[in-house]
Amino acid sequence: MPKIALKKNDLVVVIRGKDKGKQGKVLMLIPETNRVIVERINFSKHFVKADRSRNQQGGVMEKEAPIAVANVMLYCSECGQGVRARTHRHDDGSKSRHCHRCDTLIEKQK
């Protein structure tokens, strides 16, 4: 199974496709298909018919569709662009992720 380098709640930027340049927070990882769901990205409206038997109201549903991991990158606010993360290992055994360009701390891990 391919490992997704991103994590839930990471801020990412879309680098390809119709949402190119938009930023959002990772809501869900889908390792099975190597995709992620990003807040407000790849948002699609679809119409749902009312279905009385399932007690479902008709109307417009808006929902994020999964986007390929290859189409997003971790966003660094210092660089103002998508970057790769570099992991630093610390003497106390903890790890942290940093921007590989400017070394800004992105996330501290235990």
Binding residues for Zn ion (CB under 5 A): 76, 78-79, 99, 101-102, 104
CB of 33 to Zn ion, least distance (A): 29
Distance of alpha carbon 67 from alpha carbon 12, whole angstroms: 12
Kindly tell me which of 37 and 99 has the beta carbon lying closer to Zn ion. 99
For 64, counting Cβ atoms within 10 Å of its Cβ (0-12 exposed, 13-18 middle, 19+ buried), the class is middle
**Based on CB atoms, which residue is closest to Zn ion, 35 or 98?**
98
Nearest to 64 by CA among 8, 10, 24: 24
Secondary structure of residue 109 in the 3-state scheme: strand
Nearest CB to Zn ion, comparing residues 4 and 11: 11
Smallest gap, in angstroms, from Cβ of residue 36 to Zn ion?
A: 20
Instruction: Report, in Å, the least distance between residue 71 CB and Zn ion.
Output: 20
